């Protein structure tokens, strides 16, 4: 990449601690850190697998076969079969669709809404800020799982309700990080310069605030994606999420739990799918967080340096 | 972020051992500790927190009220399947569900302030009593999980922070991240498979002696402890970069002495804060799942049982108790934080 390509981004670097490291350097570090690279490749693989499950012939995921119940892993059934004789591998693949769909949908809905709220709170400040942050604070005191149990119980569980409920309880995190960043960038020189040069508020938000927020938003989206997948699987496990005959990883474990002692593979493999996906998303998310914010760096000197830079800036 | 509005700054000598990262704009209380250590501003702030907590609980319960009343037919949901239309109408009339919404809300508020959530359909006792009876069992489970986390995971975090990037550090980080990434119901099932089914060391589920509590508590400790190990590591690393640690090293003190005498004191506050927040979250979140997996007769299992039994008053009381627990634990944490560390603002 040339200097020209990164020139518009260099403007935002005026606020240390907010956006001090470029995308290019981040990508370089992804390449250097093989574990994170692996995690990213794995996530891509999972998405490809979920998409492939639409075209692959996976009838064995749905049709029960009584004569093939609880077969242990073999060549014809690589991950064995479950209590109804359905292929565990095929069901895990089909289950990835709903788990990923819920994860992505909630992150997008909560992320967009949270970003809008965060920008309003951080940029306009005053009463807007007070009201929005109070709502955020109150919502953070919600017993989320209990509340979701009560709500889903009344609406009867389906994917739409699941996505809506999870979005309602997770937008606050986005609002918070966006607000903090926007407040830091708002008072910086280049934003004030843009203001005095006559840029409209919308234009400032569009061209200066959102680019500054993007990396932190991406990080948060990754971590939240991991959290949502876990939440969806827990709710499905409790019987309040995805309903049979659909397949989701959490539901598969709930259905197979009675066979745990005789057929470990029916519980182990769907769980492994959850752990690896969540772990990969968490790894990528926390790696991004460290790389974009040197205050989170492991090297104490880098952290101390970032801290002093930050103090000096204000 | 930390722009001082009043222009007052913290006097350097008042900073104590940390010294490195003052928070300008937050002025340390000028009153000497011997003359009343809680000043008026702190009292007002605590009162504000209490009012806020009450408001939060009220809003949670109002949300439940709105959701339940906005669905078409709550009475049908509460009655067993196959109930006749007359039975539904009778229940509607008895619960006042025919009244206009604002009247229902008024009734709901008055019940709320009298802590009256109705009677459990299943047990026939006041719903709140049913919920409160289950709490000690859950507290025992979460308490044990917390002890395991503090005894095992906090030291792991300290060890990891000593050599960032080393093999030990990577292993601890991987373990804590894996613990946080594994769904509790699966982790519990795997522990049962290995330690109860294969090795036969512990019972698979149920309650009774301390043996029954070990596997569920360990399962829960992976989440609480995973977070604690991460926070401990970050918190200790934060301190490791401070000038006072460099100074102590230059004086020739041993690592253990520096950790115990200097670093621990400064790193403890964030660790305790996260520990208590996560405990509150665990009681109303992961403990529910763990209790279902291990048939642990606590608060979390009660709410799932109540859903299956269509016992709405108990579900409502569970949400109430959960909200109160979170608010109380968070408020106590905030207040203690403020009293211990006056430099910190909320």
pLDDT tens digits, one per residue of A247-278: 888 888 888 888 888 888 888 888 999 999 99
Tens digits of per-residue pLDDT, B289-324? 999 888 888 888 898 888 888 777 888 888 889 888
Among A138, A299, A301, the residue with its CB nearest the CB of B56 is A138
Q: Quick check: B32 pLDDT over 50?
A: no
Task: Give the lowest-confidence range in A176-180, A301-305, B282-286, B326-330.
Answer: A301-305
Closest chain B residue to A233, measured at CA = B183
Closest chain A residue to B322, measured at CA = A143
Task: Give the lowest-confidence range in A183-187, B31-35, B238-242.
Answer: B31-35
Cα-trace Rg, chain A:
23
Q: Which residues of A touch B197 (CB under 8 A)?
A: 260-261
> What pLDDT band is residue B194 in, cutting at 50, 70 and 90?
confident
Q: What is the pLDDT of residue A114?
A: 93
- How would you class B104 by CB atoms within 10 Å of its CB: exposed for 0-12, middle for 13-18, buried for 19 or more? middle
Average pLDDT over chain B, rounded to an integer: 78
Q: What is the pLDDT of residue A23?
A: 66
Q: Quick check: B30 pLDDT over 80?
A: no
Q: What is the pLDDT of residue B340?
A: 74
Q: What is the pLDDT of residue A277?
A: 93
Smallest Cα distance from B344 to chain A, Å: 17
Torsion of CA A81, A86, A87, A89, to 10 degrees: -100
Among B52, B177, B183, the residue with its CB nearest the CB of A282 is B177
Using CA atoms, how far residue B210 sits from A95, B191, B192, in Å, is: 37, 16, 16
Angle between helices A171-186 and A88-119 (to 10 degrees): 40
Q: Are A243 and A195 in contact (CB under 8 A)?
A: no
Low-confidence ranges of chain A (pLDDT < 70): 1-23, 26, 60-61, 65, 70-71, 75, 83, 85, 293-314
Do B326 and A141 make contact, defined as CB atoms within 8 angstroms?
yes
Please name which of A37, A10, A7 lies closest in space to residue A287, comparing C-alpha atoms: A37
Q: Quick check: B121 pLDDT over 70?
A: yes
Q: Which residues of A touch B307 (CB under 8 A)?
A: 149, 153, 239-240
DSSP for A144-212 reads: HHHHHHHHHHHH---HHHHHHHHHHTTHHHHHHHHHHHHHHHHTSHHHHHHHHTT--HHHHIIIIIHHH
Do A307 and B184 make contact, defined as CB atoms within 8 angstroms?
no
Averaged pLDDT, B159-176: 86
Q: What is the pLDDT of residue B346?
A: 38
Of the two residues B332 and A28, the one the predictor is more confident about is B332
> What is the three-class DSSP state of B18?
coil
Provide the percentage of residues in chain B whose pLDDT is more than 70: 82
Q: What is the pLDDT of residue B2?
A: 36
* pTM of full prediction above 0.95: no
Q: Which residues of A touch B59 (CB under 8 A)?
A: 138
Of the two residues B187 and B78, the one the predictor is more confident about is B187
Q: What is the pLDDT of residue A2?
A: 39
Q: What is the 3-state secondary structure (H, E, C) of A250-264?
A: HHHHHHHHHHCCCCC
Smallest Cα distance from B77 to chain A, Å: 7
Distance separating alpha carbons of residues B306 and B158, to the nearest angstrom: 42
Averaged pLDDT, B54-79: 75
What is the number of other CB atoms lying within 10 angstroms of the CB of residue B82? 6
Please name which of B320, B325, B330, B64 lies closest in space to residue A168, comparing C-alpha atoms: B64
Q: Quick check: B345 pLDDT over 50?
A: no
Averaged pLDDT, B238-255: 80
> What pLDDT band is residue B163 in, cutting at 50, 70 and 90?
confident
Do B1 and A145 make contact, defined as CB atoms within 8 angstroms?
no
């Amino acid at each position: 990449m040339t200097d020209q390509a990164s020139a518009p981004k260099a403007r935002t670097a005026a606020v240390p601690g907010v956006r001090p490291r470029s995308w290019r350097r981040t990508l370089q570090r992804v390449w250097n850190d093989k574990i994170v690279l692996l995690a990213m490749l794995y996530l891509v693989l999972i998405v490809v697998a979920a998409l492939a499950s639409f075209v692959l012939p996976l009838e064995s995921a749905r049709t029960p076969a009584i004569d093939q119940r609880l077969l242990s892993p073999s060549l014809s059934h690589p991950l064995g079969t479950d209590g109804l004789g359905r292929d565990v591998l095929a069901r895990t693949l089909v289950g990835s669709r709903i788990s990923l769909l819920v994860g992505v949908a909630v992150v997008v809905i909560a992320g967009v809404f949270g970003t809008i709220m965060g920008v309003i709170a951080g940029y306009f400040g005053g009463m807007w800020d007070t009201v929005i942050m109070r709502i955020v604070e109150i919502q953070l005191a919600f017993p989320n799982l209990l509340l979701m149990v009560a709500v889903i119980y009344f609406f009867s569980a389906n994917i739409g309700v699941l996505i809506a409920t999870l979005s309602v309880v997770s937008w606050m995190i986005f609002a918070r990080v966006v607000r903090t960043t926007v407040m830091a960038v708002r008072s910086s020189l280049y934003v004030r310069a843009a203001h005095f040069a006559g840029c409209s508020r919308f234009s400032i938000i569009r061209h200066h605030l959102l680019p500054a927020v993007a990396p932190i938003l991406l990080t948060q989206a990754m971590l939240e994606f991991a959290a949502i997948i876990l939440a969806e699987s827990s709710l499905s496990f409790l019987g309040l999420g995805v309903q049979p005959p659909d397949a989701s990883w959490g539901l598969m474990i709930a259905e197979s739990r009675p066979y745990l002692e005789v057929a470990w593979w029916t519980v182990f493999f769907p769980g492994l799918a959850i752990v690896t996906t969540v772990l990969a998303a968490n790894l990528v998310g926390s790696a991004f967080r460290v790389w974009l914010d040197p205050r989170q760096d492991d090297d104490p000197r880098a952290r101390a340096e970032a801290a002093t830079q930050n103090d000096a800036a204000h | 972020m930390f722009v001082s509005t009043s222009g007052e700054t913290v006097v350097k000598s008042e900073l104590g051992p940390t010294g490195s990262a003052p928070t300008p704009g937050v002025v340390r209380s000028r009153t000497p500790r011997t003359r009343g250590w809680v000043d008026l501003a702190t009292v007002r702030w605590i009162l504000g927190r209490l009012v806020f907590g009450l408001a939060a609980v009220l809003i949670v319960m109002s949300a439940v009220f709105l959701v339940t009343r906005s669905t078409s037919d709550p009475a049908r949901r509460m009655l067993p399947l196959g109930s006749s239309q007359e039975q539904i109408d009778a229940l509607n009339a008895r619960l006042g569900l025919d009244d206009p919404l604002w009247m229902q809300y008024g009734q709901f508020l008055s019940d709320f302030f009298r802590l009256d959530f109705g009677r459990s359909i299943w047990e026939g006792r006041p719903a709140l009593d049913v919920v409160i009876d289950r709490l000690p069992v859950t507290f025992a489970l979460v308490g044990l999980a917390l002890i395991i986390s503090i005894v095992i995971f906090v030291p792991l975090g300290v060890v990891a922070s000593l050599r960032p990037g080393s093999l030990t550090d990577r292993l601890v980080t991987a373990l804590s991240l894996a613990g946080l990434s594994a769904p509790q119901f699966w982790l519990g099932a795997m522990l049962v498979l290995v330690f109860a089914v294969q090795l036969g060391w512990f019972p698979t589920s149920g309650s009774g002696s301390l043996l029954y509590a070990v596997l569920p508590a360990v399962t829960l400790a992976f989440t609480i402890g995973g977070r604690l190990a991460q926070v401990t590591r970050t918190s200790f690393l934060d301190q490791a970069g401070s000038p006072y640690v460099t100074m102590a090293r230059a004086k020739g003190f041993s690592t253990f002495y520096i950790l115990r005498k200097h670093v621990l004191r400064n790193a403890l506050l964030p660790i305790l804060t996260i520990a208590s927040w996560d405990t509150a979250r665990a009681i109303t979140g992961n403990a529910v799942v763990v209790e279902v997996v291990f048939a642990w007769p606590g608060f979390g299992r009660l709410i799932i049982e109540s859903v299956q039994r269509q016992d709405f008053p108990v579900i409502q009381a569970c949400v109430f108790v959960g909200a109160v627990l979170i608010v109380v634990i968070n408020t106590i944490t905030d207040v203690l934080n403020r009293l211990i560390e006056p430099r910190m603002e909320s």
